[in-house]
DNA sequence: GATTTAAGTTGTAATGAGTTCAATATTGTA
DNA sequence: TACAATATTGAACTCATTACAACTTAAATC
């Protein structure tokens, strides 16, 4: 389940990021948990490995990862930023009932954007909201947001 | 520049929303300022017309507008929710240099989303980031984020 | 190996968008 | 006018994120 630490270390060095224990663990966690974890989920997920890990360190680490293009910020809904190590472009779907986030493949290049000629486009984000297959099956159920 | 108050009033009633002075002004402001204003921008923009207008009222009003489908939430970047009266689907581009947000037309229906069959899709959002035409022209300039 | 220097980490305190809530004001209706 | 229902207001609160200063670690030089 774990990613080779040396490989990750080299990856960080290649981007001019010093591979500290904390950074290696944080990046490894994001890669091996492709559920788009929040800062808080990273924090509690690494608690047994690094009991003194501070939230500030996680904020710092993900910021430099994002700047280096190793990790993507995913803002599906306001008030929860999530992180995603998939660098290939893909879309996100958030179910309004169960709150689960699904990835889906999408060919961004095919999106026809009128009026952006002469613009330098760095990132493209697509997110949908609605109700997922599983929740649709159980339609008679009570509404449990989030 | 103003929108006919009667038309707006009817529009609100049609959606079961009581057309109070505050709601009319807030909706009118969002419609006549298609710059995707934040709560704060709405607040200061309406200050001369409604000096006692409270932020809470704006939060309440935009929430019921969004629920009624009259207004769209635009979350380009975390920590700033913006509001948009354009209900037709379109994408948003945020310039990393000047911070300006551009609309662009996009045919959402054509976005090929693999793996979402049997999902009920309610909203589709597309946002790009990069550097706008104007800022590209002045490349030698200092970097002014936001 | 000891010393110096730079960089990274930590926890606390500050910030600021958004929410909650009780009091007040407004509106519609009899 | 009186009543009931709804809307508005502002202060207090919450909570994610940021700022910052003290501390720790790692690397570099002697």
Q: Can you give B84-140 as a three-state secondary structure string?
A: ECCCCCEEEEEECCCCCEEEEEECHHHCCEECCCCCEEEEEEEEEEEECHHHHHCCC
In this complex, the answer to whether residue A21 has its CB under 7 A from any atom of chain C, a nucleic strand, is yes
For residue B56, CA distances in Å to A106, B52, B146 come to 39, 11, 26
Give me the pLDDT at residue B29, please.
Answer: 97
For chain A, percent of residues with pLDDT exceeding 90: 49
What's CA B45's distance to the chain center, in Å?
15
In this complex, the answer to whether residue A79 has its CB under 7 A from any atom of chain C, a nucleic strand, is yes
Q: Tell me if B144 sits within 8 A of B110, measured CB to CB.
A: no
pTM of the model: 0.85
Q: Is A42 a residue whose pLDDT tops 50?
A: yes
Nearest nt to the CA of A38 via C1' is D16
A28-32, A80-84, B142-146 — which is least confidently predicted? B142-146
Q: Looking at the partner chain, which of B78, B116, B129 has a beta carbon nearest the beta carbon of A81? A: B78
Which of the residue ranges A84-93, A127-136, B52-61 has the most confident prediction, judged by mean pLDDT? B52-61
Categorise residue A123: left if φ over 0, alpha if ψ from -120 to 50, beta otherwise: beta
Q: Is B122 a residue whose pLDDT tops 80?
A: yes
* Closest-CA distance of chain B to residue A6, Å: 33
Bases along strand D below 7 A from a protein CB: 6-11, 16-20, 26
Q: At what angle do helices A21-32 and A55-68 cross, to 10 degrees?
A: 70
| Tokens linked to B131 | 């550097």
A119 pLDDT band (50/70/90 cuts)?
very high
Q: Is B134 a residue whose pLDDT tops 60?
A: yes
Mean pLDDT of all residues in A79-102 = 84
Give me the pLDDT at residue B110, please.
Answer: 66
Question: Could you tell me if A130 lies within 8 Å of chain B, comparing CB atoms?
Answer: yes
- Measured in degrees and rounded to the nearest 5, phi and psi for residue A84 equal -145, 125
Task: Report the number of secondary-structure helices (H) and strands (E) in chain A.
Answer: 5, 6
A110 pLDDT band (50/70/90 cuts)?
low
Residue of A nearest to B78 (CA): A78
Mean pLDDT of all residues in B92-111 = 81
Give me the pLDDT at residue B2, please.
Answer: 58
* Beta-bridge partners for B38: B82
Q: State chain A's mean pLDDT as an integer.
A: 86
Give me the pLDDT at residue B146, please.
Answer: 32
Q: Torsion angle, CA of B5/B6/B8/B12, rounded to 10 degrees?
A: 130
Which residues from chain B sit within 8 angstroms of residue A122, using beta carbons? 96, 128-131
Give me the pLDDT at residue A79, please.
Answer: 76
A141 pLDDT band (50/70/90 cuts)?
very low
Mean pLDDT of all residues in A99-104 = 85
What CA–CA distance (Å, rounded) separates A28 from A50?
13
Q: Is B32 a residue whose pLDDT tops 50?
A: yes
Give me the pLDDT at residue B145, please.
Answer: 38
- Measured in degrees and rounded to the nearest 5, phi and psi for residue A18 equal -65, 125
Mean pLDDT of all residues in A61-79 = 89
Handedness of CA A31, A37, A42, A48 (dihedral sign): negative
Question: Could you tell me if A112 lies within 8 Å of chain B, comparing CB atoms?
Answer: yes
What CA–CA distance (Å, rounded) separates A44 from B53?
41
Question: Could you tell me if B107 lies within 8 Å of chain A, comparing CB atoms?
Answer: yes
* Closest-CA distance of chain A to residue B12, Å: 25
């Amino acid at each position: 389940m774990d990613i080779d630490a040396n490989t990750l270390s080299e990856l960080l060095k290649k981007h001019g990021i010093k591979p500290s224990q904390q950074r290696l663990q944080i990046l490894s966690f994001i890669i091996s948990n492709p559920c788009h974890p929040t800062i808080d989920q990273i924090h509690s997920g690494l608690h047994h490995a690094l009991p003194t890990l501070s939230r500030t360190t996680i904020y710092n680490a993900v910021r430099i990862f994002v700047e280096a293009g190793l990790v993507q910020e995913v803002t599906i809904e306001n008030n929860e930023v999530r992180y995603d190590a998939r660098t290939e472009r893909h879309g996100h779907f958030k179910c309004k009932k169960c709150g689960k986030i699904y990835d889906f493949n999408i060919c961004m290049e095919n999106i026809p954007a009128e009026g952006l000629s002469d613009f330098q486009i760095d990132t493209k984000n697509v997110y949908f909201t609605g109700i997922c297959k599983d929740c649709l099956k159980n339609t008679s159920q009570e509404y449990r947001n989030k």
